[in-house]
Structure 1
Amino acid sequence: MPYLHLNLAKKYSTQAKRELATRLCRLYSEVMQTQSWRPNVGIAELGEDNLFHLGPDGLESITMVMVEIRRGRSLDQRLELGRRLVDICSEVLQVPKSTVLVEFTVHTGDEILRDGNWAADWTPAEAS
C-alpha cells in the first residue's frame, strides 16, 4: 500500500508502461507526502473491446485507475492526486482526459500488512 492499479483498453510498449509507472510513483510520493519506495503500480492491459463506459455518444473505451491508500490524507490531496493522475495517463497513453476514470479506496492501517506488521495510518511525519 499504496497501490495504483490501472486497467487499460489496449496494449502499450514496455517503455510506455515503465515511464507511466515511474511517473505515477513519483507523483504519488510527492502529492501524498510519503517515501518514494512506498507506491506500487500494477498495469493490466485488457486489450481492445474489453473495457468500456457508456459516454454521451455511446460506448467508449476507458482507462480505469484504482487507487488504494491509507487513511489520513485530506480531500484536497486526493483531488490533486486524481487530477494529476488523469493528466499523466492522458499524456503517456495518448487517451482523452475524459476517458481516464479514477477511484479511491481508503483503508485504515490495520487493513494493510507490511513486513509482517500492521501498517499505521498515514501521518505528515512520514513525509520527512
Structure 2
Amino acid sequence: MPHLKFEINKKVSDDIKKEFILKIEDAFSEVMDTDKGHIAISINEVGKYDISIGRAVDGDDICLMSLDIRHGRTIEQRRELALRFMAIVNELFKVDNRNQYLTYTKHDGEDFHLIERYLPSWTLNEDFLA
C-alpha cells in the first residue's frame, strides 16, 4: 500500500488536485504493476518559505515527494516512476523540474495495513487483497 506524499509551497485548485491524483494513480499502477485500490496520496500545501531545496531561486515554487513503497521494485521502475511523477508535477502544479526532489522509502509488505489485512510483499501480477 504505497503512501505517496507531495509537499508544495503554493496553493492549487481542487480541480487540479483531482486531475493530479488520477494521473499519479495511473502512473503508479502502470509502472509498478499493481492495482489502484490501495494507493494512498497526500498533497500538503505549505507556505512559500516552509520548504526549501538548495538549488531553487528565492521565491520559486518547490515540490518535495516522499514515496513509501513495498520492497521488490527495480531501480528501473523507481527511476521511471520518479520521472513520470516529476513530469506530472511540472505539468499540473507548474513546478520547474529543477525544483523537485523525490525520495523512496521501502518497506516490507507487513508494514502496510488496510482494515481487511496487512499486505504481503510485492509480487508481479499481484492481487493485494488475496
What amino acid maps onto 2:112 in structure 1? I
2:40 aligned with 1:40: yes
What amino acid maps onto 2:122 in structure 1? W
Q: Deviations over 1:3-59 (max 9, x none)?
A: 111001110111111111110011100100001222111100002221111117668
Q: Distance in 1 between matches of 2:121 and 2:103?
A: 19
What amino acid maps onto 1:41 in structure 2? I
CA contact (8 A) 2:61 2:95 kept: no
Counterparts of 1:1-128 in structure 2, within 5 Å, are 1-55=1-55, 60-126=60-126
What amino acid maps onto 1:100 in structure 2? Q
TM-score between the two structures when normalised by the length of structure 2:
0.89
CA contact (8 A) 1:29 1:38 kept: no
Question: Identity over aligned residues, as a percent?
Answer: 28
Q: Deviations over 1:64-112 (max 9, x none)?
A: 0111101111111111001110011011011111111111010001212
SS in 1 for 2:47: coil
Cα RMSD after superposing both structures: 1.8
Cα 1:100–1:56 shift into 2, 3 Å: closer
Q: Unaligned stretches of 5+ in structure 2?
A: none
Aligned residues: 127
CA contact (8 A) 1:64 1:101 kept: yes
Cα 1:120–1:86 shift into 2, 3 Å: same
Q: Distance in 2 between matches of 1:89 and 1:56?
A: 16
CA contact (8 A) 2:6 2:44 kept: yes
TM-score between the two structures when normalised by the length of structure 1:
0.90
